[in-house]
Amino acid sequence: MVKFGYVMGFRNPRELSKLADADFYAAMFEQIEYLDQTGFDTIWTTEHHFVDDGYLSSVMPMMAAMAARTKRVKVGSFVLLGPFYHPLRLAEDAALIDVISNGRLRLGIGVGYRREEFDIFQISRKERVGRTLEAIEILKRAWTGERFDFEGKHFNFKNARVLPKPISPKGPELLWGGMNPESIKRSATLDLGFACNLGSGEIRKYQEALRKLGKDPAAYSVVNTRQVYVADSEDQAWDEIAPGLMYQMELTGSGWTRAVSTPPAVIARTREPFEGARSLVRRGA
């Protein structure tokens, strides 16, 4: 069954927005309450740090606030960056949010990639996979509510217990966010859902990996993101979304620190590659 969610990055670029941060967040929570009422399955947050437009960095407090302001819709991370968390603290925060939301929390976890984030947090990129894998094991054990010890390469402790115990029977649903072939196989091996920001090819690889392990893909969640904008016409949609979309593309290409405003002529030129695809769709190709 296909369900529809909504991703919120909480980005407030000064190049495009005239809202003060307090007004911006108030407007975002109006959207969140609306989404709760209109049948969306999950509202997803995403995480990055040290970005000029205020890209959401405090994912766990935001999901707690979203859980408190909603009644039905699930709240989730697509994805939080595992290397930057102590897994016991993450387990505590996630357990509490799961209780507040009555079992509506979903956690997508990735390993991160931006060098700036690792440098400023003083965490080696070489450790990102190992730290995140240990964190996932710790999360699963912590959410049993029982005391436990852990001895790993990155984390070592004794006699830890995380309370309150999550409402969800096995703890919040976990999804793995990683797109290369080995990472996709890892999500199947770890018995996790798949948070995919690419396409059908990666989803097929994940499902094939599950089948090779004797697992039924229908029992696992796949969350896939697409850019969607609704308007009365294609031209209107493009005119309204172009500045924000070009801002996002420029920011990603510039290394996630700062984007410059896009001249109207450049925005106009970016429409050209879409015309061919549009005609193919109309012909049913």
Burial class (CB in 10 A: 0-12, 13-18, 19+), 210: buried
* Cα 49 from Cα 46, distance rounded (Å): 10
Q: How far apart are CA 242 and CA 17, in angstroms?
A: 14
- Assign 4 to helix, strand or coil: coil
Confidence label for 179 from pLDDT (cuts 50, 70 and 90): confident
Residue of 137, 139, 136, 145 whose CA lies nearest to 163: 145
Structure confidence by residue, pLDDT tens digits, 78-97: 999 999 999 999 999 999 99
Other Cβ atoms within 10 Å of 154 Cβ, number: 16
Q: What does the pLDDT read at residue 263?
A: 46
Residue 166: Cβ within 10 Å count: 24
Q: What is the mean pLDDT of residues 217-246?
A: 91
**How far is C-alpha 89 from the geometric centre of its chain's CA atoms?**
19
Q: How far apart are CA 48 and CA 56, in angstroms?
A: 6
pLDDT of residue 277: 42
Return all residues near 45 (Cβ < 8 A) that are at least 6 apart.
Answer: 7, 8, 9, 10, 56, 59, 62, 63, 66, 75, 76, 77, 78
Domains of the chain in start order, with CATH, are 6-177 (3.20.20.30), 234-283 (no CATH)
Say what the pTM is: 0.88
3-state DSSP assignment of residue 7: strand
Question: What's the average model confidence in pLDDT over 263-283?
Answer: 47
Summarize pLDDT for 248-263 with one digit per residue, the tens: 888 777 766 554 444 4
- Over residues 130-155, the pLDDT tens digits come to 999 999 999 999 999 999 999 999 99
Residue 109 has pLDDT above 80, yes or no: yes
Confidence band for 246, pLDDT divided at 50, 70 and 90: confident
